Amino acid sequence: MKTRTLLQMSTLACALMIGSTPAWAAAEKYAIDPTHSFVTFTIPHLGYSLLQGRFNKIEGQFTLDPAQTTGAELQVTVDTTSIDTNHAERDKHLKSKDFLDTEHFPKAEFKSKKITEKDGKAQVEGDLTLHGVTKPVSFEAKMIGTGPDPWGGFRRGYAGSLRIKRADFGVSHNLGPAAEMMDLGLYIEGLKK
């Protein structure tokens, strides 16, 4: 009788473990592909035009369950020394203490706290660290596409945009009132691990 009870308990435990496996296995992890992912920025120049640039070095990862609308996570790290506006002297100035101060703050980072996705659109909330200052931010993102690649991998891509006030992150060098706000673009392509 005791042996039968132990056998029944073992069978139940196995069934519970097997039953819980699909939920755990459904979470997909992606490494951000740095050659197909970009962080861009746009800021008014004296109120007469728009200056655009990007950061050439980005890394990170994200996790999600395609069957769930919540529970996804995103972490992105940007090498601020890789700033590129297609003008070497301007890039040098942007790396200086007047702006990014890349000598002291060589990295910027975003870590999500909550992501809700439905029908290919996501509302992302988290902390943005820039110029040594961390602030909560939120933005919308949309899925560009997902599927197999020609090399046997599986990919998923998103695009999102965010508007920030430079002074909130301690970047307050005077560029005129039109340049107080700047737009950031996040374009990530992830390769499934």
108's CB contacts (< 8 A; 6+ apart) are 55, 77, 78, 80, 128, 129, 130, 131
Q: Tell me which amino acid residue 80 is.
A: T
pLDDT of residue 13: 43
b/e code 17-45 from CB counts within 10 Å (16+ = b): eeeeeeeeeeebebebbeeebbbebebbe
In CATH terms, the fold of domain 25-192 is: Lipocalin (2.40.128)
Q: What is the pLDDT of residues 6-57, one digit of tens each?
A: 444 444 444 444 444 444 558 999 999 999 999 999 999 988 999 999 999 9
Q: Which residue has the tokens 């990014």?
A: 100
Q: How much is the mean pLDDT over the chain? A: 89
SS3 content of the chain, % helix, strand, coil (to 5): 20, 50, 25
Q: Is the pTM of this model over 0.75?
A: yes
Q: What percentage of the chain has pLDDT greater than the value 90? A: 79
- 26, 40 contact by CB (below 8 A): no
Whether the CA torsion 7, 13, 19, 22 is positive or negative: it is negative
Dist. CA 105–CA 117, nearest whole Å: 32
